[in-house]
Chain A
């Protein structure tokens, strides 16, 4: 890792973040486009959840993690408090790993 690499990664990432925000402020979006942008954010986040819950380095993550996410997701669906959702998900996965399930 070099200073140049870190500064370029930082600058590029910041520009990506700022560009979206500035575009949003600059352009008046028709309602139809605004809906698509919002659904797009949902699609990106759901994609992230699915990949993070089930995959690791391009392959299957093992059962412990998706089981924890499933327990957390069910708890959230049952309107359990957010803090408990996080604790239940982590706890389930940790216990399964303790029991030898990867």
Chain B
């Protein structure tokens, strides 16, 4: 328990506050997932298991929508997995933040979502690992509490779009990304990635446009001297 207390003491207050803001927003989205699952006739236990075991909001919404629209469960799984392929390159990039010991890595893998990746990358290296776990555990908790509340409240859950929650997430990611966009090479790659993702979105199934954005790397050029 000593190490738990040490961990709590070494938590950065700002990190905790920022992660709690994200957790509050994800709880609202979790509620809307629970409400959608209830409306689509997904059994309570199955919807809860989805949020606990998959913990990837986009793929959960997509899978439920595919089945609700009459698609086969296999098609729902394929669509969800395609959306989650981006986690592999994320792991390559933030593997050290996710954990170094085996138990830490096994946990770190499960709590890896876009916001956690961006959150840990925005922290200095000495705090990045702790920030990753803090953010991941809080978001996991918020998502699952939200799911249960949404399943119980059903149609009584208001549309999160009415509160602008759909704008909160890209804005939060953008805020977390700004420090990594300082270099000229990152600016070039980022701009190309945005253009590619937007151009591909009307034509490709969800998940692929973001992978197409990786094509922005052709503008990476050579590393600038001194800035790595």
* Residues of A in contact with B (beta carbons under 8 Å apart): 1-10, 12-14, 16-25, 31-32, 35-55, 58-59, 61, 64-69, 71-73, 75-77, 82-83, 85-95, 97
Contacts and interface: CB of A to CB of B under 8 A. Distances in A.
Contact of A89 (B37, B168, B201): B168
A2 B193 CA distance: 36
Contacts of A45: 114, 117-118, 173, 177
A24 to B, nearest CB: 3
B175 A85 contact: yes
A72 B64 contact: no
Contacts of A94: 162-164
Interface string B51-79: 00111100100011001000001101100
A66 B186 CA distance: 22
Interface residues of B, number: 97
A16 to B, nearest CB: 5
A69 B178 CA distance: 13
B87 A40 contact: no
Contacts of B161: 97
Contact of B186 (A42, A47, A76, A88): A42
